[in-house]
A = this chain, B = another copy of it.
């Protein structure tokens, strides 16, 4: 059983108030008594009741985290970054998974609010198009930081990468090595990052005088290995002149490469493939995948740091200023792309 102040008091034959004061090192309790109480508390393995502590300080030292999917290399890296940083500052993290569902996301935010977490970190579900549940949190003065899948319109701090710029960089790489007909496997219409990656792709074409051809755009929903295989096969049926593809995420790109390997289509000799995210499997498949590095662990750390600052500023009644942090991405050149022979 957990030991209470009452038990310590009974053990020593003193009042509960004295025990409580002694543990808080109040000077109106004698040094000798304070020492005795401390020793007895240690002996009985007393742990202060954190709910009571919470009521006093009005802090729960707990934050909430809502993430679309846990079994995902990028997101699990983000979670790791958040938890490692939170632990350094003495915060615990309650993790919830929205399964890309808008309804679940709303319900989970409510749950976290009712738990009086000190702040919330969220990466939005793909299905989220209405943001009332988010503005509500901000109106209630609970610090909120969004990362990766964000809503630009919401006034709060955000940690993202510049998806448009990164996608531009990826597409430009294909153009530089000599590709003329570049397809794009994009994500669904909703999350901002799949829109931005598409726009970066398109801009790179325009800036390099390559005509944008909508028939080279494939819109994926699941973003799975299997979808990668399916659309690689579809692409081979639809177009026989494509010499490069920029694919929204590495897992899909790995599926596409598996399909090309399977059909005897040589990567990169017949078709150059570039992915996005730098999932660690990308370096070990054959041929290894050229991709854009998306820093998950750093994103998690940074998101927590911003949230922590807001929690502290709120406590000090300072005005909270929102920040947009854009993390750097790198082009990682491997063997799925190479300079084309003319």
Contact = CB atoms under 8 A, between A and B. Distances in A.
Interface of A: 1-2, 45, 47-52, 54-55, 60, 62, 70-73, 76-77, 79-80, 83-84, 87, 92-97, 110-116, 136, 140-142, 225, 254-255, 258, 261, 280-281, 284-286
B254 A141 contact: no
A95 B71 contact: no
A2 B141 contact: yes
Given A51-B60, A72-B76, A92-B111, 7 more contacts: A1-B140, A2-B142, A47-B116, A48-B114, A51-B116, A92-B96, A225-B280
A140 B43 CA distance: 13
> How many chain copies does the complex carry?
2
A286 B286 contact: yes
19 contacts: A45-B140, A47-B110, A50-B114, A62-B115, A70-B76, A70-B80, A71-B77, A72-B76, A80-B97, A84-B97, A87-B96, A92-B94, A92-B96, A92-B112, A93-B95, A225-B284, A261-B286, A281-B281, A285-B285
Most chain B CB neighbours (cut-off 10 Å) among A71, A83, A84: A71
A178 to B, nearest CB: 28
Contact of A1 (B87, B111, B141): B141
Nearest to A58: B51
Most chain B CB neighbours (cut-off 10 Å) among A111, A140, A284: A284
A76 B73 CA distance: 9
B97 A95 contact: no
Contacts of A94: 62, 92-95
A285 B285 CA distance: 7
Most chain B CB neighbours (cut-off 10 Å) among A62, A110, A255: A62
B62 A71 contact: no
Contacts of A51: 51, 54-55, 60, 116
B254 A50 contact: no
Contact of A114 (B47, B114, B281): B47
Given A50-B115, A92-B96, A286-B261, A70 B55 contact: no
Contacts of A77: 71
B55 A52 contact: yes
Contacts of A2: 116, 140-142
Nearest to A279: B281
A155 to B, nearest CB: 17
A45 B112 CA distance: 14
A11 B49 CA distance: 33
